[in-house]
C-alpha cells in the first residue's frame, strides 16, 4: 500500500490544502485505485511557527554554544535529536509484568501544550542554567509584542499585520 500525506486546515466544514496543486498532482498520478482510506488528524499539534521557532530560536543558539564549547560534530539536526532524547522522555509499562521502560516521544508528536512545556520551560531553563545562554520567547523571536503575537496565534491578525504594529 502506498501513502500520500497532505496537510491543510478545515474551514466551515471544507478541507483547504496548504499546497493543493501538489496534492491534486499526487492524486492524478495514482491512475486507478480500487480503494483508499482517508484519515483526518486534527487538533493542537505543533504548528509551522512552533517548528520554525524550535529550529531558529532554540537549536541554532544551542548549536553555536556547543560549537564554542568544542562540540564540533554537532549540527542543527543533531541538536534537535539531542534535545528530543534529553527532554521528551515518556514511561511505558508492560501490562502483564508491570515493567516500566523509558522511551522518547518525538518532538514532532507533541501537542501544542506539551511543546510549550518541553520547549518553552524545560529547554529554555536548561539553556540558561547549563549553557549560559538566553533563548528568546516566541514573540521576541518573531519581533512582535506579546499581545500581537497572541493575536496572530488566535488568527485575529495576519503575520504581516502582527509585525507591522511594532
The pLDDT tens digits of the residues spanning 12-61 come to: 889 888 778 888 888 888 888 888 888 877 665 556 678 889 999 999 99
pTM of the predicted structure, to 2 decimals = 0.68
pLDDT digits (tens, 9 = 90+) for 13-25: 898 887 788 888 8
- Is the Cα torsion angle 131, 149, 153, 76 positive or negative in sign? negative
130 and 53 fall within a common domain: yes
Mean pLDDT of 88-92: 91
Q: Could you tell me which residues are beta bridge partners of residue 60?
A: none
88 and 19 fall within a common domain: no
130 and 63 fall within a common domain: yes
Pick from 143, 141, 165, 161: which is nearest to 152 by CA?
161
The domain containing residue 69 runs over which residues?
48-135
Considering the domain boundaries, does residue 145 fall inside one? no
| Higher per-residue confidence, 70 vs 49 | 70
pLDDT digits (tens, 9 = 90+) for 101-148: 999 998 888 887 888 888 889 999 999 999 999 999 999 999 999 999
Amino acid at each position: 500500500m502506498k501513502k500520500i500525506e497532505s496537510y491543510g486546515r478545515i474551514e466551515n466544514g471544507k478541507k483547504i490544502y496548504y499546497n493543493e496543486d501538489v496534492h491534486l498532482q499526487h492524486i492524478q498520478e495514482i491512475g486507478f485505485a480500487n480503494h483508499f482510506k482517508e484519515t483526518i488528524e486534527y487538533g493542537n499539534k505543533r504548528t509551522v511557527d512552533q517548528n520554525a521557532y524550535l529550529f531558529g530560536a532554540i537549536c541554532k543558539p544551542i548549536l553555536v554554544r556547543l560549537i564554542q564549547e568544542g562540540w564540533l560534530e554537532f549540527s542543527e539536526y543533531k541538536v534537535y535529536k539531542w534535545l528530543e532524547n534529553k527532554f521528551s522522555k515518556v514511561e511505558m509499562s508492560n501490562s502483564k509484568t508491570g515493567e516500566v521502560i523509558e522511551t522518547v516521544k518525538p518532538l514532532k508528536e507533541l501537542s501544542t501544550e506539551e511543546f510549550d512545556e518541553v520547549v518553552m520551560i524545560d529547554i529554555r531553563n536548561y539553556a540558561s542554567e547549563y549553557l549560559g545562554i538566553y533563548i528568546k520567547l516566541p514573540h521576541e523571536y518573531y519581533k512582535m509584542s506579546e499581545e500581537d503575537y497572541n493575536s496572530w496565534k488566535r488568527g485575529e491578525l495576519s503575520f504581516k499585520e502582527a509585525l507591522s504594529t511594532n
